[in-house]
Amino acid sequence: MTKIGEFYQSADWKSEKHVPVIECPDTVKANENFQVTVSLGKEVAHPNTTEHHIRFIQLFFKPEGEKFIAQVGNFEFSAHGESAAGANEGSVHTHHAVTATLKINKPGILVAASLCNIHGLWENARSIALA
């Protein structure tokens, strides 16, 4: 049986434009708000055109010692320059970057996933500790 995890790709975000980059503090205080930014194309720009774009970024948190992962957010990008005048003629393009504010009470792992309409699913993860 095929599982969805088999379709996720990963690489070093410094050389691969599809890998989500997770930016946040390495250590946070328990139960205090902090920001996490997830973007694509930080070192190698990803196109944002009608023909080639990022459809979504998802952010999850896996608390240390717990079995299940929690979804922090699902962020869809719906404007890629489409227009009745033609591809890339539209007046708006959503940029593939998001910032979420959250708080945690256990250390764990942030996991980000993204979907490119041409190159499929990509993932990255980052540990976060408590002070």
Sequential pLDDT tens for the chain (131 residues): 899 999 998 988 888 899 999 999 999 999 999 999 999 988 888 999 999 999 999 999 999 999 999 999 999 999 999 999 999 999 999 999 999 999 999 999 999 999 999 999 999 999 999 99
- How large is the C-alpha radius of gyration of the chain? 16
- Work out how many domains the chain is built from and give that number: 1
Query: Domain of 90?
Result: 4-130
Best CA proximity match to 19, nearest among 107, 111, 101: 111
**Catalytic residue annotation:** 16-18, 46, 52, 116, 119
In the chain, % helix, strand, coil (3-state, to 5) comes to 5, 45, 55
| CATH at residue 14 | 2.60.40.730
